[in-house]
Amino acid sequence: MTNMQKRIGIDAGGSLVKIVIEEKGKLTYKKYPIEKLDDAVGWLAILAQQAEVNVTGGKAEYLRKRYFPNAKVVTEFDASCEGARYLIKKSRLKIASKFMLVNIGTGTSWYLIEAEKTERILGSGIGGGTFMGLGKLLSTRTEYSQLVEQAIEGDKANIDLLVKDIYHPEDPPIEGTLTASNFAKAAETVAHSESDRIAAIVNMIAETIVLLSNQTAKLHQTQEIVYIGSTLIENSTLQAGLERFSSMVGLTPHFLQDGEYCGAIGALIV
């Protein structure tokens, strides 16, 4: 990173716009809902007229054409991987040279990173968009932070059919708290709350991501998984689920501080 000219990396995705400003060697992080993209970037374009700007994400071309005509557009996949490398080095995380990077944004992408090589190998529509969409369908709350809070308060066991439920009153042959069927109890007269529904959504997302991660990691012969992305912001329920399920299937999960900014950081330094 240079400590000369001010530089800005912008990652405008499906849910959030993430901005990283580098000035005198120091990084400043900012994020805004994608609905406020023009407000957030409008003032930035005025204040940073002499700055070097790089952009990435689905709205990258829109930003270049409307606000930053001299901006470099960086491929989203490259930006995410380079940003992750930077944060791994900065945090001094001890990790094998070959690992899986799982970016949980509006959807989810899987990358294989080995030394200087990167490859996007899988994508899924399950992610933060799923959390927000189903959350709004199954709750009276509409804000991300409110839904995250509900997930913390809820109990997925009131919605999901668990292995121990099927085998009751006998002992199950596998871990009883594992999900036998997501949302199956909603078809019954089992009492549950809005918070239980949201907890069940988060559980379904975590299980699905880990199942795909496990299959992909085995195929590419690695156990190291690094989880990043905006859906992990203050989402302790999702992180706990990812950590628990990953460990259960033999994966070694890692979470990067400021991991939601990988794309913006990568755009800055590529």
CATH 3.30.420.40 given to domain 128-257: yes
What is the rounded CA–CA span in Å between residue 69 and residue 63? 8
Instruction: Provide the mean pLDDT of the chain.
Output: 94
Mean pLDDT, residues 24-47 taken together: 91
Question: What pLDDT score was predicted for residue 188?
Answer: 86
Question: What pLDDT score was predicted for residue 14?
Answer: 86
Q: What percent of the chain has pLDDT over 90?
A: 87
The architecture of the domain spanning 7-77+262-269 is 2-Layer Sandwich (3.30)
- Express each pLDDT in 217-267 by its tens digit: 999 999 999 999 999 999 999 999 999 999 999 999 999 999 999 999 999
Q: What are the Cα distances from residue 92, in Å, to 36, 197, 246?
A: 34, 38, 22
- Express each pLDDT in 139-174 by its tens digit: 999 999 999 999 999 999 999 999 999 999 999 999
What is the gyration radius of the CA atoms in the chain, in angstroms?
A: 20
Could you give the residue ranges of the DSSP H alpha helices within the chain?
Answer: 37-47, 60-66, 76-91, 128-138, 144-153, 163-167, 194-219, 236-248, 262-269
Which residues are bridge partners to 112 per DSSP? 100, 119
Q: Do domains 7-77+262-269 and 128-257 have the same CATH topology?
A: yes
Domain borders along the chain are 7-77+262-269, 128-257
What type of residue sits at position 46? I
- Express each pLDDT in 65-97 by its tens digit: 999 999 999 999 999 999 999 999 999 999 999
Question: Active-site positions?
Answer: 76
What is the rounded CA–CA span in Å between residue 101 and residue 225? 6
Sort strands 52-56 and 72-73 into parallel, antiparallel or unpaired. parallel
Its pTM stands at: 0.93
DSSP-assigned letter for residue 235? -
